Amino acid sequence: MQMDHHRTEPDSLSPWSWERASPRTDMAVEARELAEAARQSLRGVREEVEDVGDVRVSRIHVQTRAGERLLGKRMGRYVTLDVPKLRRRDPALQAEVSRLLAAEIRALADLPEGASVLVVGLGNEHVTPDALGPKVVERLFVTRHLFRYVPGALGDGYRTVAAVSPGVLGVTGIETSEIVQGIVEHVEPDVVIVVDALASRSLDRVNASIQISDTGIQPGSGVGNKRKAIDAKTLGCKVYAIGVPTVVDAATIANDAMDLVLSQLRQNAPGNAATELFDRFSSQEKWQLIRELLEPLGHNLMVTPKEVDEFIDDTAEVVAKGLNLVLHPVMNEDTAAQATH
Amino acid sequence: MQMDHHRTEPDSLSPWSWERASPRTDMAVEARELAEAARQSLRGVREEVEDVGDVRVSRIHVQTRAGERLLGKRMGRYVTLDVPKLRRRDPALQAEVSRLLAAEIRALADLPEGASVLVVGLGNEHVTPDALGPKVVERLFVTRHLFRYVPGALGDGYRTVAAVSPGVLGVTGIETSEIVQGIVEHVEPDVVIVVDALASRSLDRVNASIQISDTGIQPGSGVGNKRKAIDAKTLGCKVYAIGVPTVVDAATIANDAMDLVLSQLRQNAPGNAATELFDRFSSQEKWQLIRELLEPLGHNLMVTPKEVDEFIDDTAEVVAKGLNLVLHPVMNEDTAAQATH
Amino acid sequence: MQMDHHRTEPDSLSPWSWERASPRTDMAVEARELAEAARQSLRGVREEVEDVGDVRVSRIHVQTRAGERLLGKRMGRYVTLDVPKLRRRDPALQAEVSRLLAAEIRALADLPEGASVLVVGLGNEHVTPDALGPKVVERLFVTRHLFRYVPGALGDGYRTVAAVSPGVLGVTGIETSEIVQGIVEHVEPDVVIVVDALASRSLDRVNASIQISDTGIQPGSGVGNKRKAIDAKTLGCKVYAIGVPTVVDAATIANDAMDLVLSQLRQNAPGNAATELFDRFSSQEKWQLIRELLEPLGHNLMVTPKEVDEFIDDTAEVVAKGLNLVLHPVMNEDTAAQATH
Amino acid sequence: MQMDHHRTEPDSLSPWSWERASPRTDMAVEARELAEAARQSLRGVREEVEDVGDVRVSRIHVQTRAGERLLGKRMGRYVTLDVPKLRRRDPALQAEVSRLLAAEIRALADLPEGASVLVVGLGNEHVTPDALGPKVVERLFVTRHLFRYVPGALGDGYRTVAAVSPGVLGVTGIETSEIVQGIVEHVEPDVVIVVDALASRSLDRVNASIQISDTGIQPGSGVGNKRKAIDAKTLGCKVYAIGVPTVVDAATIANDAMDLVLSQLRQNAPGNAATELFDRFSSQEKWQLIRELLEPLGHNLMVTPKEVDEFIDDTAEVVAKGLNLVLHPVMNEDTAAQATH
């Protein structure tokens, strides 16, 4: 018998590709950084960086199949807002990030005035760092039922917005993409916006970055991963994705710690003997050590700041406010904030 | 502009039919009691009552259209477990009620050995007395993904179970029945079981009764109620419903208080003058007074015990354990309890 | 054996004086209204009313023992902010109420620049409408430890603030006033501010009023109430109280419903016979009916709006922001809000 | 100005001694293992290990000052229950651990029949892995108020039990030991039992071990740690402590990862050159690397399993049930479980 259903739940937050024995990242900007660090030519990838006050906006365009292979990211546009000071919980900066987020979504997405939008909050509401999507959905100003059942309740400047949190496979027993497809077939939105918590390669970005993309959600491509994409192809309409890194995998921390030691030793190494030593230390060996280290608690180990509950609430507020602003042109900062309460 | 979206949300818990200016009940056993109190003949309605320890089991069968009109309840079978002592939170009694619930579902529902089942938890997870459905869903032993993605993980004696909490119209903007239909079309279960919090006519039954029926969920029939049924007709498969009364509407309390005073006065009344007085006091007038009384906070006022949070958690546990027992024949009390944690 | 400890817990929210068989109120402004409605002379009670935008500020001064007996409120000053629109959740109005609250506390309380303050959040964090006090405490900008352990961390304009939630008798087994006394003896604050959820006589005020007083917290004076006061006498320093009505007792609703019917009948009554009838209907009789009506769930029954969770969070935010503003003169609206997140 | 009060909150969960640049452990059994691994003689320390089904019981007695220095643990008795299978959430095993815990507390602690007991739940209720203490306190069968205010409510076999959650310094602004002292002076218990979440050196023990000791709580001895002990000396009565490891510090994981690589390299090293290389790699250097690695999110980084919420709830239930059993001799498993709900 198998009661321990938690072990069999695919871990949507894991940034570690257990098949490839290497950290993987959900963020295009990190994939670009890794590629650059590996001194790879970035053909097929265009990037533009702009600093707006305390926010760095990186706009990456994966233009070709070659770029796709290079970054491991589907062809399309990825915009990242990096805001290290977001963790200081300054309300003025939070408001500014909501505004910037609205502006970047407006620029990236094609949202006609009369478009009807379905927002999908992915993740498990009862696992704090995975709850971002459902928490954003709760804070949206949802209007579809008002347009239908209370005609005249809303004036001009509101779009038709619906919002759902489909839950996760381990709790529902149903592939999330199946649930979303079923709902889309009934609601028939023009646009779907998917919100999800991501895993980051780097502690710097945890609760301090927001990624927008026009590619939808692509599951990892590893062996055994049977999850389906949530994108234009599977849903039959435009799909945008908003992601916020909320954890780093413990395996990534362990990996980075090992790499730091190795690179430090390499610098101090006196000669060829040592170099040889390190060359013999394969990534397979390192990977074996990490497995050994983390084995007792398995691959669901995450590294989070102690204040993770507060950070998630704050970030959900920032994202929801940005979405309210961009979805309902008549809303201003006050009414958008009011709706998110 | 209309920001106050809470006011426009149809209130799934309200037992008060604002159109008919009279309390309505979600429970067949109460409808039967009301009809009896009104000295109506109960043709077309069969009832059988059995006391099992501290539990009274009432099995009502609405057999004809006449019975349907009489009770205001769709033709079909309704089983109620009344357990006044359930509020004492005695674990032995809770376990007993889970077992009885499993037995009554088994007797009422046609669940072939290989049947696949979708459990739907209705209600708003973030409104305590409405959260019963979602809280039951969280505690189920869900297996559909294990059968699909981890073949061999489970031995014999498990059915294919999936479970979802579709949210409420006021939060999603989408008619709940639409979401459920979309999911059913993809999951294709043989049987759907819907779990919902009910409103009771009577404080006696709050957190102390469980109703099972084979009729699905029928929305109130009042003017302006645009909600669709969740039943065999709309979903295309068998639909069973489990309901637990968790609140009484404040209007019901006010109504009962007024009736008590009136009946008391009537008893004390000296002669015809007084009778005339009361006869002139129409139900419309009473209704007007109730409106006046509750007006400041509108029709979303509910009466709950202070300990409502604990009662809801306990009852969700009892129902989930009963469902685990009946859905997975191999489960015993311990493993069913383990899954509900 | 007595396991059902919830029944033995004194109910801090109950506005119903079960000894006097009549509704009692925690709010001076309501006591004043009741006295006025009973056409009592208001000697010894001064009142001043001011409308500031959407807020009505009532300042009541109970000046003599006669006034004390009249209102059932200890001699002292009581300021009430009535804000019916607060329930609309408008952020601009919420900010305005925080500012007004800060101004009224500043006017009422004697807070020297260097005063050290202990804020005490009364109530049960796990019973939604009773959780106001603890929720305010969580949102305060607490500084006492910073002054002690991180000297220089704070600039000028901050007072020494500590804050505790002592829990409730039914959970701790300890009289709340004993816990507060023990803490006060160690912390030695100059001023204590107690925050508590109140019961209102009237639905109008639920989540729409804030009362400030300089009298501390006085328990009900009924037979059998063994709870001690939390005031200057028991704590040995100035004690101010902030209260927000969050519920109405179900008995109050029932009582009001009965009174409404009776007064309606009296108006319609044709002559002496009826008058006699009503005169014979004593308050004792009414009280007996209410008991009968609510008996199954006892005296812990409360009437709340369905959205009680959201209202409590909002109100806690408003009160905490007001307190941050008045306790730390250097704070402005933004930094006060930031601290409350 | 310093708004970021989270940074200045001493981190009660951190197992990393930032002063000594080395991991520290809250658990005597781990200190003993470390000492043994370092091949130190264990004079002054007695240990006894017993396997009871799936539970390993280690009873360590630090008997001399030498033993105290060796383990960095105060003289006294430490009992650890190691239950790797506890994470499988098997109700039969959970019940067994509650029984064993009760038996070990009974053996360790001197609890006369008429003793009055105060249980103190340390930690921050709003930070999941730190919430163990408050969650245990909520589930205790508290009786002190019943003995006082409802004489005769309880039969024989109950002790006088009170329970408080004093909060944490960063939220209250008050040293926890001061709050506890103030309460103890008013409640005057014969015995205090402190319950706290611990940090472990090892992932093996997270949510899978319980430590009992008769030494109370000793804060870390590092420079700058101004926290006071909660023990017999500060409280003037017997103090027992129950601790459950709920996190591992991210710095510990990083440290272990580095050590693993170094030891692996050392094994493969060809000769003296390499040995020299490693010898030059000082612990100070390693420490510098860890700091660099974790710097962006500071020393509040913890490693937890994704399911931390469920594990904490389960463990709180196990501990509370054990405490109910040992504090109230008349309770059996059912009534102890009932009280913990």
Give the closest-approach CA distance of A182 to chain B in angstroms. Answer: 4
Tell me whether D8 touches chain C (CB under 8 Å). Answer: yes
pLDDT value, residue A5: 32
Longest dimension (CA), chain A: 80
**Half-sphere exposure for B267 (CA within 13 Å, toward CB):** 6
Q: What single-letter amino acid sits at C50?
A: E
Residues 6+ apart with CB under 8 A from D24: D15, D16, D17, D72, D220
| Residue B284: exposure state from Cβ atoms within 10 A (0-12, 13-18, ≥19) | exposed
pLDDT digit of tens for each residue in chain B (341 aa)? Answer: 222 333 333 344 544 444 444 556 788 888 888 888 777 777 889 999 999 999 999 999 999 999 988 888 889 999 999 999 998 888 889 999 999 999 999 999 989 999 999 999 999 998 888 999 999 999 999 999 999 988 888 889 999 999 999 999 989 999 999 999 999 999 999 999 999 998 888 888 989 999 999 999 876 533 334 478 999 999 999 999 999 999 888 888 888 888 888 888 777 766 665 666 666 667 777 778 887 788 766 557 888 887 788 889 999 999 999 999 999 999 988 788 777 76
Tell me whether A310 touches chain C (CB under 8 Å). Answer: yes
**In angstroms, rounded to a whole number, what is the distance separating the alpha carbons of residues B282 and D43?**
91
Longest dimension (CA), chain B: 80
- Nearest residue in chain C measured CA to CA from D139: C171
Tell me whether B95 touches chain C (CB under 8 Å). Answer: no
Tell me whether B279 touches chain C (CB under 8 Å). Answer: no
Question: Kindly report the CA angle at D192 between D188 and D195, in degrees rounded to 5?
Answer: 145
Tell me whether C204 touches chain A (CB under 8 Å). Answer: no
Structure tokens at A29: 């900007």
Of A4, A90, A257, the CB nearest to D258: A257
State mean pLDDT over D241-246: 94
pLDDT value, residue C4: 32
Task: Give the tens place of pLDDT for each residue, C186-200.
Answer: 999 999 999 999 888
* Contact status, residue D172 vs residue C164, Cβ threshold 8 Å: yes
* Contact status, residue C303 vs residue C248, Cβ threshold 8 Å: yes
**In angstroms, rounded to a whole number, what is the distance separating the alpha carbons of residues B205 and B203?**
5
Give the closest-approach CA distance of B132 to chain C in angstroms. Answer: 14
Q: Looking at the predicted structure, is the pLDDT value of residue D224 above 70?
A: no
Please answer yes or no on whether A90 and C337 come within 8 Å at the CB atom.
no
């309300």: which residue's tokens?
A91
Task: Give the tens place of pLDDT for each residue, D110-135.
Answer: 899 999 999 999 999 988 889 999 99
Task: Give the tens place of pLDDT for each residue, B144-174.
Answer: 999 998 888 888 999 999 999 999 998 999 9
A vs D, Cβ pairs < 8 A, gives: 172
Tell me whether A126 touches chain B (CB under 8 Å). Answer: yes
Q: What single-letter amino acid sits at B280?
A: R
Chain C contact set for B307 (CB, 8 A): 6, 127, 300
Tell me whether D90 touches chain B (CB under 8 Å). Answer: yes
- Nearest residue in chain A measured CA to CA from C313: A341
Task: Give the tens place of pLDDT for each residue, C269-301.
Answer: 666 656 666 666 677 777 788 877 887 666 578
Nearest C-alpha neighbor of A7 from the set D127, D306, C218, D241: D306
All chains having 3 or more CB pairs closer than 8 angstroms to chain C = A, B, D
**CA distances (Å), A320 to each of A97, A180, A238, A316, C341, in order?**
11, 20, 20, 6, 16
Beta strand C55-62 pairing with C76-82: antiparallel
- Confidence (pTM): 0.87
**In angstroms, rounded to a whole number, what is the distance separating the alpha carbons of residues A87 and A106?**
25
Of B277, B300, B306, the CB nearest to C265: B277
**In angstroms, rounded to a whole number, what is the distance separating the alpha carbons of residues B172 and B179?**
10
Of A8, A143, A182, the CB nearest to B173: A143
- Nearest residue in chain B measured CA to CA from D139: B310
pLDDT value, residue C155: 84
Longest dimension (CA), chain C: 80
C vs D, Cβ pairs < 8 A, gives: 143
Task: Give the tens place of pLDDT for each residue, C230-257.
Answer: 999 999 999 999 999 998 888 888 888 8
Chain C contact set for D186 (CB, 8 A): 174, 178-179, 181-182
Tell me whether D223 touches chain C (CB under 8 Å). Answer: no
SS3 state of residue D202: coil
Structure tokens at D152: 């005769």
For chain D, which residues make up each domain, given as ranges? 6-252+300-339, 253-297
Nearest C-alpha neighbor of B159 from the set B143, B183, B139, B136: B143
Question: Kindly report the CA angle at D71 between D69 and D72, in degrees rounded to 5?
Answer: 60
Please answer yes or no on whether C334 and A310 come within 8 Å at the CB atom.
no
Residues 6+ apart with CB under 8 A from D315: D86, D132, D207, D210, D244, D246
Q: With a CB-CB cutoff of 8 Å, which residues 130-189 of chain C face chain D? A: 137-138, 141-146, 149-150, 153-155, 160-167, 169-175, 178-179, 181-187
pLDDT value, residue C221: 39
Give the closest-approach CA distance of A50 to chain C in angstroms. Answer: 27
Cβ count within 10 A of residue A6: 17
Q: What single-letter amino acid sits at C71?
A: L
Tell me whether A277 touches chain D (CB under 8 Å). Answer: yes
- Residue C57's pLDDT band, with cuts at 50, 70 and 90, is very high
All chains having 3 or more CB pairs closer than 8 angstroms to chain D = A, B, C
Task: Give the tens place of pLDDT for each residue, A284-337.
Answer: 777 788 877 887 666 578 888 877 888 899 999 999 999 999 999 999 887 787
Please answer yes or no on whether A270 and D293 come within 8 Å at the CB atom.
no
pLDDT value, residue A266: 76
* ipTM value: 0.86
Please answer yes or no on whether A334 and C92 come within 8 Å at the CB atom.
yes
State whether CATH 3.40.50.1450 applies to domain A6-252+300-339. yes
Task: Give the tens place of pLDDT for each residue, C197-210.
Answer: 988 888 889 899 99
- The chain-wide mean pLDDT, for chain C, equals 84
All chains having 3 or more CB pairs closer than 8 angstroms to chain A = B, C, D
pLDDT value, residue B194: 97
Tell me whether D98 touches chain A (CB under 8 Å). Answer: no
State mean pLDDT over D202-208: 87
pLDDT value, residue D142: 96
Please answer yes or no on whether C89 and A334 come within 8 Å at the CB atom.
no
Tell me whether D127 touches chain C (CB under 8 Å). Answer: no
A vs C, Cβ pairs < 8 A, gives: 22
Structure tokens at D141: 């069968």
Q: With a CB-CB cutoff of 8 Å, which residues 10-69 of chain D face chain C? A: 10
* Contact status, residue D113 vs residue D119, Cβ threshold 8 Å: no
Give the closest-approach CA distance of A26 to chain C in angstroms. Answer: 29
- Nearest residue in chain C measured CA to CA from D227: C149
Residues 6+ apart with CB under 8 A from D97: D55, D81, D83, D86, D210, D318, D322
Divide the 341 residues of chain A into consecutive groups of 10 and give the mean pLDDT of each group: 32 46 72 80 88 96 92 92 89 93 96 95 90 95 92 89 95 95 97 93 88 86 58 96 90 84 75 64 76 70 82 94 96 79 60
Please answer yes or no on whether B203 and C264 come within 8 Å at the CB atom.
no
- C-alpha torsion sign, points A82, A88, A93, A99: positive
Tell me whether C340 touches chain D (CB under 8 Å). Answer: no
User: Across the strands, what pairs with D56?
Assistant: D51, D82
**CA distances (Å), D330 to each of A15, B292, C238, D92, D190, in order?**
51, 53, 45, 21, 20
Chain D contact set for A257 (CB, 8 A): 253-255, 257-258, 289-290, 293
Structure tokens at B316: 């969700």
Please answer yes or no on whether A91 and C310 come within 8 Å at the CB atom.
no
Give the closest-approach CA distance of D242 to chain B in angstroms. Answer: 23
Q: Which of A135, A338, A340 is the mutation pick for testing C, counting most C CBs within 10 A?
A: A338
**Half-sphere exposure for D114 (CA within 13 Å, toward CB):** 0
Q: Looking at the predicted structure, is the pLDDT value of residue C214 above 50?
A: yes
Give the closest-approach CA distance of C137 to chain D in angstroms. Answer: 8
Of C145, C179, C338, the CB nearest to D3: C338
pLDDT value, residue A14: 47
- Residue D78's pLDDT band, with cuts at 50, 70 and 90, is very high
Nearest C-alpha neighbor of C105 from the set C320, C318, C312, C322: C322
Tell me whether D126 touches chain A (CB under 8 Å). Answer: yes
Across B29-33, C11-15, C86-90, C312-316, least confident range: C11-15
Q: With a CB-CB cutoff of 8 Å, which residues 286-305 of chain B face chain C? A: 286, 289-290, 292-294, 296-298, 300-305
Task: Give the tens place of pLDDT for each residue, B268-284.
Answer: 766 665 666 666 667 77
B vs D, Cβ pairs < 8 A, gives: 22
**In angstroms, rounded to a whole number, what is the distance separating the alpha carbons of residues B60 and B235?**
24
